[in-house]
Amino acid sequence: MGLDMYLVGKKYFYRDFQNPEKNLVEDGFVVREKTLRLGYWRKHPNLHGFIVKTFCNGVDDCREIDLSEADIQTIMQAVRDKSLPHTTGFFFGHSDGTEDEETLAIFDRALKWVGEKKDGEIRSVAYEASW
């Protein structure tokens, strides 16, 4: 039990009806989307609290929270500024600041990934937690 936190990336693929051979196919079926794990944290409640408060109006119900490129930059700035709010919760553990470097690296990679533009796909990033 505890706070598990994920940064996920989704690739949505356009379906090409005029050139079906261009469609991504897996196991004999056209792929609509793929979900990638861009990052994972175990018990970093201050980061969780910041994301929920800033991008989900403080509603902490383990739903997926979509993050724009600007949102990711906002999170990175808050980590750099050490302005993540002290957050507590049942089995959340505690943040001690040692996770900042890894957190910045994860969001930096996610920002670069979502910014890649490829024909036939749309990319998005979302945060989700489980506790």
Q: Indicate whether 38 pLDDT > 90.
A: yes
pLDDT of residue 122: 96
Per the structure block, which two tokens stand in for 113? 């990934």
What is the mean predicted confidence (pLDDT) over 35-47? 95
pLDDT of residue 97: 80
Contacts within 8 Å (CB) and 24+ apart, 15-19: 16/120
CB within 8 Å of 39: residues ≥ 6 apart? 6, 7, 106, 107, 109, 110
pLDDT of residue 76: 98
Tell me the per-residue pLDDT of 91-110, one tens digit each, with 9 for 90 and over. Answer: 788 888 888 999 999 999 99
**Domain-by-domain residue ranges, the chain?**
4-130
Give me the residues paired with residue 66 across strands: 126
Q: Indicate whether 67 pLDDT > 80.
A: yes
